[in-house]
Structure 1
Amino acid sequence: MLDEHKNETEMSSEDQKLLPLGKEAFEIEGPTVLTGWRVTESWITRESKDTWEIAGPAILTSIAQFSIGFITSAYVGHLGEVELAAVSIVQNVIEGFVYGVMLGIGSALETLCGQAVGARQLNMLGIYLQRSSIITLVTALFLLPAYIFTSPLLNLLHQEKHISEVAGKYAIWSIPQLFAYALNFPIQKFLQAQSKVWVMTIISMGVVGLHVFLNLLLVIWLDHGLLGAAIAGNISWWILVLAHVVYVVSGSFPEAWVGLSLSAFSSLCGFMRLSLASAVMLCLELWYSTLVILMVGWLPSPEVAVDAISICMNVELWTLMISLGFNAAVSVRVSNELGAGNPKGAKLSVAVNVVTSTVFGVIFAVAILVTEYQFPKMLTTDPTVMKETTKLVYFLAAYVLINSIQPVLHGVAVGAGWQSTVAWINTICYYIVGLPIGGLLGFKSSLGVQGIWLGVIIGIVLQTAVLLFILCRTNWREEALQAEERVRSWGGSPPGPLVE
């Protein structure tokens, strides 16, 4: 004891400023505490390590869950063009809308659970999980008509009648997946906030293997067609959700999960406001890309242009999986640090995640430019479509680069609880600036699809610039105080003093 005290007193005052407060600061899953303005290489290395421990599994989980729908389409493609078109419409229009709403609502839990973990108020996590699940299940009931009336809705959108009828049947058969989504995202955010992401990854990848077998059995061997594909999807999603539920309630979280509680029904209004703000923020983001494809479809002779931009969007979607991993990581790290009363740790996490994700964006953008004439061949054999796709390669590279930064900034917004602010920024930058400019360039000039996409990129660049400006002006100490108040007012006790 005396030797330890002697060693500590012999340290320089500058070194002592860099010491974390307490032994728990060295825990991998605990918050990183910075006590001085100087950030050494060791702090950056440790922050990168913490980031990758969340981002790596989150990337694999996103790919695995995305692959469930991709595998379904691959098997349905053997049934015929009408069946494939019907499933594609349901996945991209109906399920895409529902998935976005559920994911957005679940993001409120990401803010609250992350800050509660940082504040060491683990007892609140189970209550937050139950509150979020109540809200998502009620939301699923309100979204149920979208599945039941898929066919009439598609007819209103002037889709081909026969495809609309087949899509309507498939949507009704897929209703169980709606309620699986409602439970999946709250549990996912509950686990992410505590950095328990590898279990999610293992379960998700196991379900992907099961989904391949179920489609082979029900669609091909037993010849149940679209009904078999819907049943396979329902079983896969519910096994994924139930496996997560078992993990949560099996005793792996003795402090965070103590059973069902009537306290889950308190503070629902405040929880709902944050949930709706999260949903609006995310849906405005998702609909922006969807509207691009719709606008291209309004061009004269749009078939080739739609195919070309769809290829580009598919490429961008796969690169986006990496950025979504950093989105999850920075959200967890920022919320943990703010909840712990450590604004400087949150600031460091933002810098590390933005730089790391941007590096990947640069790598992907360069790869796209280098393979300008090769990557379209992987997705189409039509020479006309390939030629049109190569015309968009510079737009795709710019889009991928910007989208390596922007999801990270959204993750910061979720971690800090800025969902309402970002929703307004998205509305202005995307729908008041980006889309009108894209429409003007696309329809009133000879640029066509290139003009539409240029306008969209302008909107994203503006939104990213505004978010970066806000980050530079952010008072992180004030954000930490707001996190403390949020934890206290919604059921927890305040954390320790802010780390200066």
Structure 2
Amino acid sequence: MSKLTVRLIMDNGVEERLLVSVENSSSDLKSRIWRESKLLWRIAFPSILSRVTSFGLIVVTQSFLGHVDEIDLAAYALVQSILLRFVNGILLGMSSATETLCGQAFGAGHYHMMGIYLQRSWIVDGVTATILLPIFIFTTPILKILGQNEEIAEASGVISLWLIPFVYNFVFGLTIQMFLQAQLKNMVIGWLSTISFLLHLLLSWTFVSKLGLGVAGAMGSLNISAWFVVIGEFAYIWGGWCPNSWKGFTMAAFADIFPVIKLSISSGVMLCLELWYNSVLVLLAGYLKNATVAISAFSICLNVSALQFMICLGFLGASCVRVSNELGSGNSKAAKFSIKVIMFTSTFFGVIFFVLCLAFGRQLSYLFTSSEEVAEAVSDLSVFLAFSLLLNSIQPVLTGKYFDRQNN
């Protein structure tokens, strides 16, 4: 029998060390897996909940537009799958740098640095979002130059303007989530995201189905619901629930910002390519004979894949936090063990989604459209979608491991 010192950092920042007796046997391995799984789900579950419900806002919007007009559905699918996914991928990847830096600061007990890292991320992500803004302002001419259907391109230009406030929601929402997650305080984000999702359902039903506001109603509901979460996060941080990690705004956020930019760019490019490479299929679908059906079908498949990918990103977040916490406290063996447990858990869920997609591939389409043509096209793509879901469950966890190794 041996002694093990367990280092616990509570939500209030107080550190506790416990001396635990463990047996060097298979029962010890089981207890280690159990302990690691509890830590994993404490981080991953709120993250998964918030990511799924946040992306659910986009999916719900597409669902309501799909039952209004096929042109609006195709236009929204094109803008959301190409432009919004591109920007979201960059900002999500750059926010992962915040997760790594804050996780290591928390593990090392440097709590005051977490608020500084958060503000640096706001600066970097905000500038990045502003640089990318022209693609939403000039969507229609860009799509026409690329040879897309003229009617769809015109409708896309209107929808893309509504997405500008939604893009800036990413700048604050994603980084604050990483900031709170590193402190194991992300349950508040899960609750806010769930309430936001329910609010979006209510507003979309009211604005689109009852008041008949069409695109304006759906997109207005999307922006209101998304910013509800950000305002709630600001209230939580500034309200005194993060006394050790948030000390107020400081000019120190502008100092030593280039290492943050370097890590953010490498992370952003990696995740952007990961999210965007299959979105090119939607762009290519616009060149097919029946562009409206093709774009809608590909977009539905990508949205299903993206919803499952949000779960995988929850495991990515857990791997970033667990590995960075352990590396911050100098425990590399615990970091390796954590990765193994998270990888097994994520792959297990990937297998489940693989089987469900093969069994119910066609039925998924009716959540987004009532068109039999689109449903048939989605059914034809269901096998490829199933394999995509399986592979999605493995790669994000390895990405999280890569982020942490790059920063050490």
- Cα distance in 1 for residues equivalent to 2:123 and 2:84: 20
- Cα distance in 2 for residues equivalent to 1:67 and 1:148: 25
So what's the TM-score if we normalise by structure 1? 0.72
Percent of residue pairs identical: 41
Q: Deviations over 1:76-98 (max 9, x none)?
A: 23432222222222212221111
User: 2:397: which partner in 1?
Assistant: 408
- Where structure 1 has 5 or more consecutive residues not aligned to the other structure, the ranges are 1-13, 419-481, 483-500
- Any residues of structure 2 matched to 1:149-160 within 5 Å, and which? 149-160=138-149
1:340 equivalent to 2:326? Answer: no
- Any residues of structure 2 matched to 1:26-41 within 5 Å, and which? 40-41=29-30
Q: Post-superposition shift, 1:151?
A: 1.0
Q: Post-superposition shift, 1:400?
A: 2.5
- Any residues of structure 2 matched to 1:272-283 within 5 Å, and which? 272-283=261-272
- When structure 1 is superposed on structure 2, of 92-101 and 276-285 the one drifting more is 92-101
1:71 equivalent to 2:60? Answer: yes
- Cα distance in 2 for residues equivalent to 1:342 and 1:277: 25
Give the match's secondary structure for 2:362: helix
User: 2:97: which partner in 1?
Assistant: 108
1:265 equivalent to 2:254? Answer: yes
Q: Find 1:353's aligned residue among 342, 346, 351.
A: 342
- Any residues of structure 2 matched to 1:367-406 within 5 Å, and which? 367-369=356-358, 371=359, 374-379=360-365, 382=372, 386=376, 389=379, 393=383, 395-406=384-395
Q: Find 1:169's aligned residue among 158, 161, 169.
A: 158
Q: Post-superposition shift, 1:137?
A: 1.1
User: 1:492: which partner in 2?
Assistant: none
- Cα distance in 2 for residues equivalent to 1:116 and 1:376: 47
Gap change, CA 1:32 and 1:132, over 3 Å in 2: farther
Task: Tell me if the contact between 1:111 and 1:417 (Cα under 8 Å) persists in the aligned partners.
Answer: no
- When structure 1 is superposed on structure 2, of 402-411 and 170-179 the one drifting more is 170-179
Root-mean-square deviation (CA), in Å?
3.1
Q: Find 2:2's aligned residue among 15, 27, 41.
A: 15
Higher relative contact order (CA 8 A, sep 6+): 2
User: 1:319: which partner in 2?
Assistant: 308
- Cα distance in 2 for residues equivalent to 1:40 and 1:243: 41
User: 1:237: which partner in 2?
Assistant: 226
Q: Deviations over 1:156-178 (max 9, x none)?
A: 12122222122212222332222
Q: Post-superposition shift, 1:218?
A: 3.0
Amino acid at match of 1:376: R
Q: Deviations over 1:330-365 (max 9, x none)?
A: 111111111111111101100100111112222333
- Cα distance in 2 for residues equivalent to 1:191 and 1:163: 40
Q: Post-superposition shift, 1:51?
A: 0.2
Give the match's secondary structure for 1:131: helix
Q: Find 2:174's aligned residue among 161, 170, 185.
A: 185
Task: Tell me if the contact between 1:338 and 1:416 (Cα under 8 Å) persists in the aligned partners.
Answer: no
- When structure 1 is superposed on structure 2, of 255-264 and 154-163 the one drifting more is 154-163
Amino acid at match of 2:5: P
1:57 equivalent to 2:46? Answer: yes
Amino acid at match of 2:329: A
User: 1:9: which partner in 2?
Assistant: none
Gap change, CA 1:416 and 1:194, over 3 Å in 2: farther
Gap change, CA 1:178 and 1:102, over 3 Å in 2: same
- Cα distance in 2 for residues equivalent to 1:311 and 1:83: 14
Task: Tell me if the contact between 1:33 and 1:342 (Cα under 8 Å) persists in the aligned partners.
Answer: no
- Where structure 2 has 5 or more consecutive residues not aligned to the other structure, the ranges are none
Amino acid at match of 1:379: S
Q: Post-superposition shift, 1:310?
A: 5.2
Give the match's secondary structure for 1:20: strand
Count of aligned positions:
399
- Any residues of structure 2 matched to 1:130-141 within 5 Å, and which? 130-141=119-130
Task: Tell me if the contact between 1:297 and 1:306 (Cα under 8 Å) persists in the aligned partners.
Answer: yes
- When structure 1 is superposed on structure 2, of 219-228 and 297-306 the one drifting more is 297-306
Q: Deviations over 1:383-405 (max 9, x none)?
A: 89648845762x44433322211
Q: Deviations over 1:216-272 (max 9, x none)?
A: 333344443322322222222222111111111110011100100010000111111
Task: Tell me if the contact between 1:83 and 1:166 (Cα under 8 Å) persists in the aligned partners.
Answer: yes
So what's the TM-score if we normalise by structure 2? 0.87
Q: Find 1:205's aligned residue among 185, 188, 194.
A: 194
- When structure 1 is superposed on structure 2, of 52-61 and 25-34 the one drifting more is 25-34
Amino acid at match of 1:325: G
Q: Post-superposition shift, 1:67?
A: 1.1
Task: Tell me if the contact between 1:26 and 1:32 (Cα under 8 Å) persists in the aligned partners.
Answer: no
Q: Find 2:354's aligned residue among 352, 355, 365.
A: 365
Task: Tell me if the contact between 2:78 and 2:299 (Cα under 8 Å) persists in the aligned partners.
Answer: no
Task: Tell me if the contact between 2:136 and 2:157 (Cα under 8 Å) persists in the aligned partners.
Answer: yes
Task: Tell me if the contact between 1:118 and 1:338 (Cα under 8 Å) persists in the aligned partners.
Answer: yes
User: 1:215: which partner in 2?
Assistant: 204
Q: Post-superposition shift, 1:27?
A: 9.0
Gap change, CA 1:254 and 1:15, over 3 Å in 2: same
Task: Tell me if the contact between 2:46 and 2:187 (Cα under 8 Å) persists in the aligned partners.
Answer: yes
User: 1:144: which partner in 2?
Assistant: 133
Q: Deviations over 1:253-309 (max 9, x none)?
A: 111001000100001111111111111111111122113455576678888877766
